């Protein structure tokens, strides 16, 4: 089953709440112009995020934050694909990044992607039930409500600061 729509008809927050409340498993693709962001959910919890926007891909995010050099990240990505296991699991199993650290990094990246989408006035979404094998058994399971609440709170604070200026 697939659910498609326009962001004007179903906002970002409403869409995430629908996925969480209904404990949906699948891939949510959000797009605006040339920007495309992807959230993978298992039973309503975020398990992986990605983006086509430069600097918003997990490997780039980890490299940019000094956790691992870009070449090692690319090698890990290709090796995980070759053996058919989730990239995140490969990073943990091969002690490239500790699990706790990876969970925090994915939570931060998910917050950045979600925060950016809060400002979208147009665009579309598609939720596709089911997960690709490459992410389905990943080790990360984020609380969607907590991520939304914290991101919206920080976003609102940032908007208040802008209004004061």
In the predicted structure, residue 123 carries a pLDDT above the cut 70? yes
Please spell the DSSP secondary structure of 92-124, one letter per residue: HHTTSS-HHHHHHHHHHHHHHHHHHHHT-SS-E
At residue 45, φ and ψ (nearest 5 deg) are -105, 140
- Rounded Cα–Cα distance for residues 113 and 39 (Å): 9
* Domain residue ranges of the chain, discontinuous segments joined by +: 2-164
Q: How far is CA 155 from the centre of its chain?
A: 17
Q: For residue 66, what pLDDT is reported? A: 66
What is the pTM for the complete model shown?
0.86
pLDDT in tens, 73-115: 888 888 988 988 888 888 889 988 888 888 888 899 999 999 9
Beta strands in the chain (DSSP E): 2-6, 26-32, 35-42, 45-51, 124-129
The pLDDT mean for the chain works out to 88
In the predicted structure, residue 29 carries a pLDDT above the cut 90? yes
In the predicted structure, residue 30 carries a pLDDT above the cut 70? yes
Please report which confidence band the pLDDT of residue 27 belongs to, taking 50, 70 and 90 as the band edges: very high
In the predicted structure, residue 162 carries a pLDDT above the cut 90? no
């Amino acid at each position: 089953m697939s659910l498609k729509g326009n962001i004007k008809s179903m906002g970002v927050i409403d869409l995430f709440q629908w996925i969480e409340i209904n404990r949906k498993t699948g891939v949510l693709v959000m797009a605006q112009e040339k920007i495309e962001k992807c959230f993978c959910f298992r039973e309503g919890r975020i398990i992986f995020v990605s983006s086509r926007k430069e600097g918003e891909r997990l490997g780039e995010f980890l490299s940019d934050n000094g956790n691992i050099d870009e070449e090692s990240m690319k090698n890990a990505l290709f090796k995980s694909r070759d053996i058919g296991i989730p990239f995140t699991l490969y990073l943990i199993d091969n002690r490239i990044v500790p699990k706790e650290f990876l969970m925090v990094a994915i939570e931060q990246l998910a917050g950045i992607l979600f925060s950016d989408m809060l400002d979208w006035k147009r665009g579309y979404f598609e939720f596709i039930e089911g997960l690709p094998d490459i992410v389905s058994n990943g080790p990360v399971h984020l609380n969607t409500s907590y991520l939304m609440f914290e991101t919206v709170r920080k976003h609102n604070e940032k908007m208040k600061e802008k209004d004061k200026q």
